[in-house]
Structure 1
Amino acid sequence: MHNKSTIEEIEARFDKDVARFSNLETGQQTTLDASFTMELITDGIAAMDPHPKRILDIGCGAGNYPVKLLSKMITNPDITLADLSQPMLDKARERIQPLTTGMVQTVKGDFRTIPLEENSFDAIIATAVLHHLRDDVDWETAFARLYHLLRPGGSLWIFDLVAQEHPAIQGLLFKERYGHYLASLKDATYRDQVFAYIEQEDSPRSVMYQANLLKQAGFRSVDILHKNLCFASFVAFK
């Protein structure tokens, strides 16, 4: 665990990768069902609350999810964007501000500690970000913070790399099946490069671990939306 990338190292990698994360059609190519899940989550937010006032996107990257969400909104919510990378935040604001008359605020830093108003957000988007958490304390702190940031009745929408509880199933779904997918994108060398930075940067947990922890944090219910191999999307309601 102590050999994992630091927050600063992860920030530096994403600073150099803005263009790849600005593709609304493909999203992150290494992420299974990226476009499908973006549609699913943004449709879900719009269905849950057609007139949201405040949306928070943590680890927003170049802003794909708010861009897609605002195309489905008839109102103009305020959007708060949080990310480690300033270049990502700059690109996200550039893309999102023309789409809403609401305020677009960017906040650079770790979502667990940056200044954000509690009990104020109608929906929080957390896509491809929580897998960067480390030990149980990190996960508990993160879910507690997200719970307190939501207004009563608000919802948290997660899409992320997940682990499997059983080592044999982890090997099958991640190393074998997901590995085959990565190799099909380019070649075995590319697959190994992706596996290497996942090993260096990421500490994913299982869907059940996260669902149970969300309940412990105070969320009243959790719904699983979609799972394909080692990627899953789910929503929690305050």
Structure 2
Amino acid sequence: MEYKSTLKEIEERFDQDVTRFSNLDTGQQTTLDALFNMELITDGIVAVYPELNHVLDIGCGAGNYPVKLAQKMSGFDCTLVDLSQPMLEKAQERVQEVITGEVKILKGDFRTAELKENHYDVIIATAVLHHLRDDQDWEHAFKKLYSLLKEGGSIWIFDLVIHDHDAIQKLIYNNYYGKYLTSLKDESYRDHVFAYIEHEDTPRSLTYQLDLLKKVGFNSVDVLHKKLNFASFVAFKSGTTAS
């Protein structure tokens, strides 16, 4: 595998970007349909869990998803995990202002963090899993996430994906996604984004992730939305969900 950013390098980049990621409207401008998916995922959580107790947000950034969720229901406890301490502090401040439950923060990598097993109703994982590396890392991470959920719990994912066919991958990235990035600013901005994706990220295809979720034990997976190289999807751990 070509050289990829270390966790420390990723942490340092996000340490410098707290202000942008604290904005619900612009925090994920390089991401297609970011605001739509935030609404969709939080609406989905409310629909499935009208009585929500424990939420875990891994790679929480500045806490946008729990903040949005709290606009729809506020009586839940929230655990926030991120590599960046400045991000965590901003997320804690923002989330605690809008929920009535407890907010806990944990600096570090969710793969090794000491988190309660069989504890969370919902795990939110947005724009974080593409930092995983080889197949072993992906499987280990998904097993860990499965172990943290209660029976009937679920993980809600929104992330960058690739396409397994090389020609389709090149078409979507170079033509469609590239044009979108250029429209945000210019071609140099497009090249900048492509460069840090190449340097920092190791995304997998949507089908790869859906299959892996089932392999590690999730009994039900569903695609919520896909647009070009971004997808949102959900997986449920067996058991009775909230009704």
| Superposition deviation, residue 39 in structure 1 | 0.1
Q: Gapped runs of 5+ residues in structure 2? A: 238-243
Tell me the residue number matched to 1:61.
61
Given the alignment of the two structures, is residue 95 of structure 1 paired with residue 94 of structure 2, yes or no?
A: yes
SS at match of 1:160: strand
Instruction: Find the residue that maps to 2:97 and give its secondary structure.
Output: helix
Shift of 1:101: 2.1
Structure 1 stretches of at least 4 aligned residues deviating more than 6 Å after TM superposition: none
Shift of 1:99: 1.2
Superposed CA deviations along residues 111-135 of structure 1, whole A, max 9, x for unmatched, are 0101100000000000000000000
Letter in 1 for 2:145: L
Q: CA deviation at 1:25?
A: 1.9
The residue that corresponds to 2:8 in the other structure is: 8
Tell me what 2:47 maps to.
47
- The aligned residue for residue 33 of structure 2 is 33
Unaligned runs of 5+ in 1: none
TM-score normalized with structure 1 length: 0.98
Q: Is the 8 A contact 1:85 1:108 kept in 2?
A: yes
| Alpha-carbon distance, 1:28 to partner | 0.6
Deviations 1:101-154 (A, max 9, x none): 211000000001011000000000000000000000110011000000000000
Per the alignment, residue 72 of structure 1 pairs with 72
In structure 2, C-alpha distance between the alignment counterparts of 1:187 and 1:99, rounded to whole Å? 37
Q: Does the Cα contact within 8 Å between 1:27 and 1:35 map onto a contact in 2?
A: no
TM-score normalised according to structure 2 size = 0.96
Distance 2:86 2:152 in 1: 33
Matches of 1:203 and 1:16, distance apart in 2: 22
- Give deviations 1:8-42, integer Å, cap 9, x for gaps: 00000000000110111233100000000000000
Query: Which amino acid in the other structure matches residue 20 of structure 1?
Result: R
Q: Distance in 1 between matches of 2:27 and 2:235?
A: 23
CA distance in 1 between partners of 2:7 and 2:225 (Å): 29
SS in 1 for 2:69: helix
* One-letter identity of the residue aligned with 1:53: N
Shift of 1:2: 4.5
**Using the alignment, how far apart are the partners of 1:27 and 1:35 within structure 2?**
9
Counterpart residue number, 2:219: 220
Which aligned pairs between 1:61-140 and structure 2 lie closer than 5 A? 61-73=61-73, 75-140=74-139
3-state SS in 1 of match to 2:95? helix
Cα RMSD over matched residues?
A: 0.7
2:169 is matched with 170
Q: Deviation per CA, 1:146-194, whole angstroms, max 9, x where unpaired?
A: 0000000001000000000100000111121100000010000000000
1:197 Cα deviation from its structure 2 partner? 0.3
Answer yes or no: is the 8 Å Cα contact 2:80–2:104 preserved in 1. yes
8 Å CA contact retained: 2:20, 2:26 = no
Q: Which residue of 2 aligns with 1:23?
A: 23
Q: Find the counterpart in structure 2 of residue 232 from structure 1.
A: 231
Matched with 1:147 is 146
Q: Is the 8 A contact 1:93 1:106 kept in 2?
A: yes
Rounded to whole Å, the distance in 1 between the matches of 2:50 and 2:187 is 44
Q: Distance in 2 between matches of 1:18 and 1:174?
A: 27
Aligned partners of 1:12 and 1:2: how far apart in 2? 21
How many angstroms apart in 2 are the aligned matches of 1:17 and 1:197? 14
Is the partner of 1:124 in helix, strand or coil? strand
Report the AA paired with residue 52 of structure 2: P
